[in-house]
Amino acid sequence: MTRHFNLFMVPALAVLAFVFAIPILLLFAVSFWSVKNFRLQPDFSFAAWQRFLTVYGDLTLYTLLVGLLVGLLCTALGFVFAYAARFKAGRFGDLLLVATLITLFGGYLVKIYAWKSILGADGLLNQALMWLGLTDEPLAFLIYSRGAVVVALVHFLLPFAILPIYASLRNVSEATIEAARDLGASGAQVITRIVIPQTLPGLFSAFAFCFLLAAGDYVTPMLLGGTSGSMLGQFVLLEFSTNFNWPAGSALSFGLLFACLVLIAALAALGGRMMRRPAGAVS
């Protein structure tokens, strides 16, 4: 039976290799090529990787920090929302979940331009601040800044954090929470010792998903970041399109990918070590 099942998996694995694995390997091989007179040369060179480390090293670190911040904010806010929908909202919990799903139907660019209309010099926020007398002129730092990029990314990615967290919270029994409270556990102890350990896979999935999408994004920093909020994805696009330097663009792409995977692996190891620590008795 197992042998027949493995045979049925062969077509699926072949399709996966053809549409995903082989193109990725070819693009990785291109990162070791060179460009002469706007033509790819299939030789072997570390010039593209050297360019990534020397020219884009600081920008890569900044991109990782933005992705880390967005991932943490989305995970924290998503947990609060999902916990409220699961245990506090009662019969309105399903309605909150449906509202979360509806937000996914809004276009990505629509949300970015909505934030431009909110944070711009003539936007709703500046107009409200001047109407309230809190400022005499529009605040220029609200848009085309790093903060605008983070806010827009959190707004876009928050539903992707709520859904896996809510799914993991469905496995937490209310009877277990009530038993912990009967034993004298405080609200904070219930969250940290009962709820979070059981929802850790969902929390990590939410963080990893939001972190990877934020770190690889280029549209949001291009439209809302200005010069101070640029991220590595913008220069990947620049190398592939304007400069026609495919080896450099490939090296930037895989360099960011490897850096993201290393950071996620480190955080996963740290989280696993923390969860293996013996917890003290509930007092």
- Residue 87 makes CB contacts below 8 A (sequence gap 6+) with 169, 174, 177
pLDDT at 5: 61
Confidence band, pLDDT 50/70/90 cuts, at residue 226: confident
Question: Which architecture characterizes domain 73-230 according to CATH?
Answer: Orthogonal Bundle (1.10)
Lowest mean pLDDT among 44-48, 153-157, 244-248, 271-275: 271-275
More confident residue, 52 or 181: 52
User: 3-state class of 58 per DSSP?
Assistant: helix
Asked whether the predicted pLDDT for residue 80 surpasses 60, the reply is yes
* For residues 222-240, average pLDDT: 91
Contact 207, 216 (CB under 8 A): no
* pLDDT above 90: percentage of residues in the chain: 54
Which pLDDT score is estimated for 279? Answer: 45
Mean pLDDT for 62-88 is 95
Buried b / exposed e over 59-96, threshold 16 CB at 10 Å, is bbebbbebbbbbbebbbeebbebbbebbeeeeeebeeb
- pLDDT grade, residue 270 (50/70/90)? confident
Length of the chain, in residues: 283
Q: How high is the pLDDT of residue 1?
A: 54
As a whole number, the mean pLDDT across the chain is 89
Q: Give me the pLDDT at residue 183, please.
A: 85
Whole-number pLDDT of residue 282: 42
> For residue 281, what pLDDT is reported?
42
- Residue 231: pLDDT band (50, 70, 90) is very high
Query: In this predicted model, what pLDDT tens digit does every residue of 5-29 receive, in sequence order?
Result: 677 788 888 888 888 888 899 999 9
Contact call for residues 67 and 211 (beta carbons, < 8 A)? yes
Beta-carbon contacts of residue 257 (< 8 Å; ≥ 6 apart) = none
Identify the pLDDT of residue 213.
Answer: 95
Average of per-residue pLDDT across 150-163: 95
pTM of the model: 0.89
**Residues sharing a CB contact under 8 Å with residue 4, sequence separation 6 or more, in sequence order:** none
Confidence of residue 283 (pLDDT cuts 50, 70, 90): very low
Domain(s) labelled CATH 1.10.3720.10 in the chain stretch across: 73-230
